[in-house]
Amino acid sequence: MTDVSSQGPRPDDQRAQLTNRQGHPVYDNQNQRTVGSRGPATLENYQFLEKISHFDRERIPERVVHARGATSYGYFEAYGKWGDEPVNRYTRAKLFQEAGKRTDIALRFSTVIGGRDSSEAARDPRGFAIKFYTEDGNWDLVGNDLAVFFIRDAIKFPDVIHALKPDPVTFRQDPNRIFDFMSQSPESMHMIVNLFSPRGIPADYRHMQGFGVNTYKWVNAEGETVLVKYTWMPKQGVRSMTEEDAANVQAGDLGHATKDLHDAIERGEYPEWELLVQMMSDDEHPELDFDPLDDTKTWPEQDFPPRPVGRLVLDRNVGNQFAENEQISFGTGVLVDGLDFSDDKMLVGRTFSYSDTQRYRVGPNYLQLPVNQAKGSGVNTNQRDGLMTYHQDKGGENPHVNYEPSINGGLREAQFPTYDEQGPEITGRLTRKRIQRTNDYKQAGQRYCLMERWEQDDLVNNFINQLSQCDRPIQERMVWHFLLVDDDLGLRVGEGLGISPGDVAQLEPLQSQTLTEEDRDRLANLG
């Protein structure tokens, strides 16, 4: 019998030598150290124990949502304008100012509900998260492909996700649980009309739109603020799949979208998106029938025209999935000067949740990892230590001073801006109340009417298919909602389930909803 360990490399083998993580050469990677060739093994077997115990820790918790994703790198190039106007009229954010100015970016696309190895052909919103490595530090814009969301208050997020994730007993995604939740949450109508239409299964990541979804602010040099929404339009066009297309794709490959993106970039076909920005003055807009801070609404394009401000190109793949795709960490709190939050109740909740989960998922020093580091600006803090500290933040000229204030050469505060923010003044009582202008059905109905007939057919069939697996009271409540969204949608889904408007006319509105005049008229006509 040949003893592998005794063979050693051939004298002409030029490859790099295998070592352990202490830099010690590994002479035998095939056999543990044992007493005699049949064992037992010994506990001082450092090389083996190091190797196996590192392997035991190879996985970190996957993201609680958006676990499956694909990251690529590229750049954002500014136009210096918002449409025809100089962009500095509205924002002082440096990355937007100069025409042709490029900022490095990383973009992570994702699905939401499945685990790390789940199908990329699932009916599911897609994540569209961008990290801009700007000279003023990082800016993360963490959005999706459907423009709106299921809920408008962050306190409902764990519930909506639990309803969409697999059943805790059977571990199967269950339409009865999903529509149980949605039927009791009328604010989800706009989102589900999108999600169950062909748009709910994008053909791949290159052929889909992206949206910031939440309302943010731009701030100019005078401190004046405007409300903004972001849209990414793919130069490649928008393509979607039917259920049948998706079934065929996932029969052959669960990761077709990651592969498509990776291969296109390797071929030199760099995907590109244009960034469009909608804007409105920073106030409550009582003239609108929706609240500008409500993420279940889009802003009508005729009233708030989306204007281009730049383009984004992806031209480089990651070198390592784990380091760059699994550990990349985005958050809605990551803004640069000239960009700001709005009081959108989802945005505030999100802003806490992202860095909280990343401290748990990746570790308290997740911002020291190369993919997350602010590359364009310096990082000097008095935060120290913690698990896996790598970067030695020396602070100011005196490394003994890791506190502030100090007269001994520590870090000083940045120069405060000379302007004051000019946004609205807000007063109010602490309370727990839903917003007034909920208007849950109108935009969902408009969306349905804008669809082509085949898209409407697909939507209706998908709803019938899903709802036929649900309990009768859930079916009835959903038909009731659909009749408020649009007559045609409600009648067709109802017909497919054997439910007429008369069958649901006696249902009372939910306690958790406010109906508009128009909704009440529709209800009155149901009987």
Q: Per the annotation, where are the binding residues?
A: 354
What is the nearest approach in angstroms of ligand HEM to the Cβ of residue 408? Answer: 38
What is the nearest approach in angstroms of ligand HEM to the Cβ of residue 372? Answer: 10
Is residue 129 part of the contact set for ligand HEM (CB under 6 A)? yes
End-to-end, the C-alpha distance of the chain in Å comes to: 88
- Residue 112, sorted as left (phi over 0), alpha (psi -120 to 50) or beta, turns out to be alpha
Residues 6 or more apart whose CB falls under 8 angstroms from that of 372 comprise 131, 138, 327, 328, 329, 366
What is the nearest approach in angstroms of ligand HEM to the Cβ of residue 127? Answer: 3
Is residue 65 part of the contact set for ligand HEM (CB under 6 A)? yes
Q: Distance (Å, rounded) from C-alpha 366 to C-alpha 362?
A: 6
- Both tokens of 352, joined, read 């806490």
Q: Which is nearer to ligand HEM, 220 or 353 (CB)?
A: 353
Region of 12-20, 59-67, 183-191, 222-230 interacting with ligand HEM (CB under 6 A)? 59-67
Region of 5-13, 342-350, 390-398, 472-480 interacting with ligand HEM (CB under 6 A)? 342-350
Is residue 66 part of the contact set for ligand HEM (CB under 6 A)? yes
Q: Distance (Å, rounded) from C-alpha 255 to C-alpha 116?
A: 10
CA angle, residues 255, 128, 198, in degrees to nearest 5: 65
| Of 47, 103, 134, 144, the one binding ligand HEM by CB under 6 A | 144
Q: Which is nearer to ligand HEM, 205 or 448 (CB)?
A: 205
| Of 330, 448, 463, 480, the one binding ligand HEM by CB under 6 A | 330
Cα-based distances in Å from 414 to 207, 376, 380, 418: 42, 17, 11, 12
Numbered residues of the known binding site for heme:
354
Q: Distance (Å, rounded) from C-alpha 353 to C-alpha 185?
A: 22
Is residue 522 part of the contact set for ligand HEM (CB under 6 A)? no
Q: Which is nearer to ligand HEM, 218 or 230 (CB)?
A: 230
Is residue 149 part of the contact set for ligand HEM (CB under 6 A)? yes
What is the nearest approach in angstroms of ligand HEM to the Cβ of residue 450? Answer: 21
Q: Which of 144, 214, 325, 402 is catalytic?
A: 144
Query: E strand or H helix at 480, and its extent?
Result: helix 472-485
What is the nearest approach in angstroms of ligand HEM to the Cβ of residue 392? Answer: 25
Q: Distance (Å, rounded) from C-alpha 144 to C-alpha 407?
A: 47
Is residue 366 part of the contact set for ligand HEM (CB under 6 A)? no
Q: Distance (Å, rounded) from C-alpha 344 to C-alpha 304?
A: 18
Cα-based distances in Å from 455 to 202, 205, 396, 449: 13, 20, 60, 10
What is the nearest approach in angstroms of ligand HEM to the Cβ of residue 76? Answer: 17
Residues 104-123: x/- map of binding to ligand HEM (CB under 6 A)?
----x-x-------------
| Of 165, 350, 442, 447, the one binding ligand HEM by CB under 6 A | 350
Our answer to whether residue 525 is catalytic in this structure is no
Region of 96-104, 349-357, 395-403, 480-488 interacting with ligand HEM (CB under 6 A)? 349-357
Is residue 142 part of the contact set for ligand HEM (CB under 6 A)? yes
Residue type, 201: I
Q: Binding to ligand HEM (CB under 6 A): which residues in 68-97?
A: 69
What is the nearest approach in angstroms of ligand HEM to the Cβ of residue 63? Answer: 4
What is the nearest approach in angstroms of ligand HEM to the Cβ of residue 347? Answer: 8
How many helices (H) and strands (E) in the chain? Answer: 15, 12
Q: Which is nearer to ligand HEM, 348 or 505 (CB)?
A: 348
Task: Judge contact between 107 and 129, C-beta under 8 A.
Answer: yes
Q: Distance (Å, rounded) from C-alpha 387 to C-alpha 424?
A: 42
Q: Which is nearer to ligand HEM, 66 or 177 (CB)?
A: 66
At residue 393, φ and ψ (nearest 5 deg) are -75, 105
- Both tokens of 309, joined, read 């401000």
Q: Which among 140, 68, 145, 136 has a CA at the least distance from the CA of 105?
A: 140
Is residue 270 part of the contact set for ligand HEM (CB under 6 A)? no
Is residue 329 part of the contact set for ligand HEM (CB under 6 A)? yes
Is residue 447 part of the contact set for ligand HEM (CB under 6 A)? no
If you write DSSP's letter for every residue of 430-480 in order, what string do you get? ------S---TTHHHHHHHHHS-HHHHHHHHHHHHHHHTTS-HHHHHHHHH
Task: Judge contact between 507 and 494, C-beta under 8 A.
Answer: no
Displacement of CA 449 from its chain's centroid (Å): 28
What is the nearest approach in angstroms of ligand HEM to the Cβ of residue 158? Answer: 8
Task: Judge contact between 367 and 140, C-beta under 8 A.
Answer: no
Q: Which is nearer to ligand HEM, 327 or 475 (CB)?
A: 327
Is residue 154 part of the contact set for ligand HEM (CB under 6 A)? yes
- Residue 423, sorted as left (phi over 0), alpha (psi -120 to 50) or beta, turns out to be beta
Is residue 138 part of the contact set for ligand HEM (CB under 6 A)? no
Our answer to whether residue 481 is catalytic in this structure is no
Is residue 64 part of the contact set for ligand HEM (CB under 6 A)? yes
Q: Which of 20, 45, 54, 66 is catalytic?
A: 66
Task: Judge contact between 502 and 526, C-beta under 8 A.
Answer: yes
Is residue 63 part of the contact set for ligand HEM (CB under 6 A)? yes
| Of 157, 224, 315, 373, the one binding ligand HEM by CB under 6 A | 157
Q: Is 476 exposed, middle or buried (0-12, 13-18, 19+ CB in 10 A)?
A: buried
Q: DSSP class of residue 87?
A: G
Contact positions vs ligand HEM (CB under 6 A): 63-66, 69, 108, 110, 127, 129, 142-144, 149, 154, 157, 213, 295, 328-330, 346, 349-350, 353-354, 357-358, 361
Annotated catalytic residues are 66, 144
